[in-house]
Structures are given as structure tokens and as C-alpha cells.
Homo-oligomer: A and B are copies of this chain.
């Protein structure tokens, strides 16, 4: 069944990913938050959640951990006191680059049995499912 094979592929992907990220002491949520910060710069937690498609409460926990490790800062937004501004530190950027490398390697490991064109096709089909 499609749902079953999809689940198996996703489980494999998740295992490869979290094993690899764990070697840097990180998990999926860490990478997702850092990559949004990399792409969009300093952001409120709510916007991190929207862009990384994470729940608000998971953003809190993830940012707690990132701040504790010195990878991001968190301060109240002077222009809107409801918001926190989360920003990457230099060491956070370094950590993000390491995670980026890991991510690229994992993509290749996951898709190694497919040709370039097939990888494109797969992405296209999955995207259409998600966007339906």
C-alpha cells in the first residue's frame, strides 16, 4: 500500500537523519530552526514556528536548547514586547554549516539508488501529494 511504503521510506529517512544529526548532538528540530534563521535572519518564535512548520511549544523547547548551547540569542523585541527576537551567534552559524553538510550527505545516501532524473520525479510527485 502507498501509505505503507511511504511510511517505510520516511522511517528510513528519519533514521539516517537523526543518527547523523545526533553525532553533532542535534536533532531534527535544531536543524529546522537554524535553517530558518539562516534563510530569514533574526525572527520571532512564532515566525520560526510558521516557517519551520513546528508547533509553538516545540519552538520554545528547541530555542531553549539552542540558547543554552550558545548557538542563538534570545531577547525581547524592543518594537513589540510580546515577541522574542531569536538570532544566530557566530558559533551557531558554524554549527549550522556542520549540520548543512550532514544534511546534504544524508540526501545522497537516501537517494543513492536513484538517477538524477528520478530524484526530480520523486520530489515532484511528493510535492503534489503534499500540496493537494
Q: A: which residues have CB within 8 A of B?
A: 1-3, 5-10, 12-14, 16-17, 53, 103, 106-107, 110-114, 118-119, 121-123, 125-132
Known contacts A10-B10, A118-B125, A122-B125: does B106 contact A3 (CB below 8 Å)?
A: yes
- Establish whether residues B1 and A103, one from each chain, have CB atoms under 8 Å apart when the complex forms: yes
6 shortest interchain CB distances as A-B pairs: A10-B10, A113-B132, A122-B125, A9-B126, A3-B13, A5-B126
Residue pairs across A and B with Cβ atoms less than 8 A apart, 18 shown, are A1-B103, A1-B107, A2-B107, A2-B111, A2-B119, A3-B14, A3-B103, A3-B107, A3-B110, A5-B123, A5-B130, A7-B14, A8-B130, A9-B129, A10-B10, A12-B129, A110-B129, A113-B128
Besides A112-B132, A114-B125, 5 other A-B contacts (C-beta < 8 A): A2-B123, A8-B53, A8-B126, A9-B10, A10-B10
- Establish whether residues A10 and B7, one from each chain, have CB atoms under 8 Å apart when the complex forms: yes
CB distance from A89 to the nearest CB of B (A): 24
Partner of A9 from the list B113, B119, B130 (CB cut-off 8 Å) is: B130
How far apart sit A47 and B6, CA to CA, in the bound complex (Å)?
23
How far apart sit A123 and B127, CA to CA, in the bound complex (Å)?
14
Query: Hey, which chain B residues are within 8 Å of A118, CB to CB?
Result: 125
